[in-house]
């Protein structure tokens, strides 16, 4: 994710209270019904237990397998082990992109978002590191010479797994292993901090604050996918601005970002693990709006999937860009519904 300013943590600091048992109510001229704190307690709890933590648990496990595969490749120098590392990069990437609707908490306070997912890769600095003989520093492993996209650059070329023969020597493989190890540590920290510390803090927020965070997280990633991840390189025609272009994973990234919205709204990490959810709270107040949100999530995923593959190759086309423009609009429509209509239901 390209790091953008977020106001989430400011909200957390300002609105923190010591108990979830705070009575909240809502009534306005549009006829939004009143509710008490008990109405959303389980929604907020299940959001943490069934959406956020399982997503990060999957990422933690995948990042561990990714590092293990890279470490094995470092020893074996076999293509099958390199291919396994590529496979687990894709799996780890899925769980991370499926978390981008909730980049508050440790992802923000521990700077784990930029450590894991800064882009584009700083190729000048990265190539200098790879050409150097001095010990690799922790600073180099985080930010724009580390994380997902440094690994991606080292593992893939033109949408395909690299060949063993393409590696320039031991230094490149050493750096690959160090970045994978660092990602494993950061993914574990992200999960473990939610479990050990942040979940309790999140559940202790005033319910209005927790719901604002959930809605703002969804609206924020809808805006980022449309306005930055797609529209950014579409406007500049600069392939270097395309996220995950070495692996050709861009469109999968974008759809998984929208799935992160779906999971935050419907609950769970997938359709099998749904619990009490924001959708139910919206439906109780405005059934038509709940259906509108669901329909727009589906429409946005379909619009992104309609973009020709790979996304990086569409930037230089001289023909019509109707598919890209439709996806940008779908993302903005989803953002507006969440930001303007859903959030308005919970003003108190």
Domain of residue 204, residue span: 42-346
Does 213 map to a domain? yes
**Alpha-carbon radius of gyration of the chain:** 21
* Element housing 198 (H / E): none
What percentage of the chain has pLDDT greater than the value 90? 83
For 274-294, write each residue's pLDDT tens digit: 999 999 999 999 999 999 999
Cα torsion 230, 234, 236, 242: sign: positive
Q: Where are the beta strands (DSSP E) in 139-260?
A: 156-157, 160-161
Does 36 map to a domain? no
Please give the average per-residue pLDDT across 34-48, as a whole number: 77
For 46-95, write each residue's pLDDT tens digit: 999 999 999 999 999 999 999 999 999 999 999 999 999 999 999 999 99
Give per-residue burial for 24-33: e unless 16+ CB within 10 Å, then b: bebeeeeebe
**Residue among 30, 27, 15 at smallest CA distance from 341:** 30
SS3 33: coil
SS3 345: helix
**Residue among 48, 32, 98 at smallest CA distance from 281:** 32
DSSP assigned state of 240: G
Give per-residue burial for 130-161: e unless 16+ CB within 10 Å, then b: beeeeebeeebbbbbbbbbbbbbbbbbeebeb
Q: Are 103 and 217 in contact (CB under 8 A)?
A: yes
Q: CA-CA distance, 2 to 116, in Å (whole number)?
A: 11
Does 323 map to a domain? yes
Please give the average per-residue pLDDT across 2-26, as a whole number: 38
Does 242 map to a domain? yes
- Residues 88, 91, 92, 96, Cα dihedral to 10°: 170
Q: How far is CA 185 from CA 61, 72, 280, in A?
A: 11, 18, 36
Does 128 map to a domain? yes
Domain count along the chain: 1
Please give the average per-residue pLDDT across 99-112, as a whole number: 97
User: For residue 253, is pLDDT > 60?
Assistant: yes
Does 8 map to a domain? no
Locate 167 and state its tokens: 């590696």
User: For residue 321, is pLDDT > 70?
Assistant: yes
Please give the average per-residue pLDDT across 214-240, as a whole number: 96
264-268-271 Cα angle (round to 5): 110
pLDDT at 4 (0 to 100): 39
pLDDT at 158 (0 to 100): 95
User: For residue 3, is pLDDT > 60?
Assistant: no
107-109-113 Cα angle (round to 5): 30
- The residue among 129 and 32 whose pLDDT is bigger is 129
Q: CA-CA distance, 256 to 98, in Å (whole number)?
A: 5
pLDDT at 169 (0 to 100): 87
CATH number at residue 317: 1.20.1420.20
């Amino acid at each position: 994710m390209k790091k953008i300013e977020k106001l989430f943590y400011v909200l957390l600091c300002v609105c923190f209270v010591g108990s979830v048992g705070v009575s909240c109510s809502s009534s306005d001229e549009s006829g939004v019904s009143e509710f008490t704190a008990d109405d959303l307690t389980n929604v907020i709890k299940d959001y943490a237990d069934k959406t956020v933590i399982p997503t990060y648990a999957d990422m933690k496990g995948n990042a561990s397998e990714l590092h293990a595969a890279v470490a094995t490749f470092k020893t074996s120098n076999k293509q099958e082990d390199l291919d396994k590392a590529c496979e687990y990069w894709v799996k780890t990437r899925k769980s991370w992109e499926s978390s981008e609707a909730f980049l508050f908490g440790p992802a923000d306070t521990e700077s784990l978002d930029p450590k894991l997912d800064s882009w584009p890769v700083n190729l000048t600095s990265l190539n200098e590191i790879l050409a150097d003989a001095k010990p690799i520093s922790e600073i180099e492993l985080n930010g724009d010479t580390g994380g997902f996209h440094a690994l991606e650059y080292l593992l893939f070329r033109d949408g395909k797994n690299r060949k063993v023969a393409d590696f320039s020597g031991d230094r490149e493989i050493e750096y690959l292993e160090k970045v994978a190890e660092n990602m494993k540590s950061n993914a574990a920290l992200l999960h473990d901090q939610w479990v050990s510390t942040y979940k309790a803090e999140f559940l202790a927020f005033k319910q209005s604050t927790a719901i604002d965070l959930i809605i703002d997280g969804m609206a924020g990633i809808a805006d980022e996918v449309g306005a930055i991840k797609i529209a950014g390189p579409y406007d500049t025609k600069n392939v270097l601005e395309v996220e995950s272009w070495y692996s050709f994973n861009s469109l999968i990234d974008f759809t998984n970002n929208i799935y992160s919205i779906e999971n935050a709204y419907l609950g769970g990490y997938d359709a099998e693990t749904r619990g009490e959810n924001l959708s139910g709270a919206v439906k109780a107040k405005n059934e038509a709006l709940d259906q509108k949100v669901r329909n727009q999530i589906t429409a946005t995923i379909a619009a992104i999937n309609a973009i020709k593959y790979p996304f990086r190759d569409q930037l230089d086309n001289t023909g019509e860009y109707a598919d890209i423009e439709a996806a940008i609009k779908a993302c903005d429509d989803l953002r507006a519904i969440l930001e303007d209509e859903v959030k308005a239901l919970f003003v108190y």
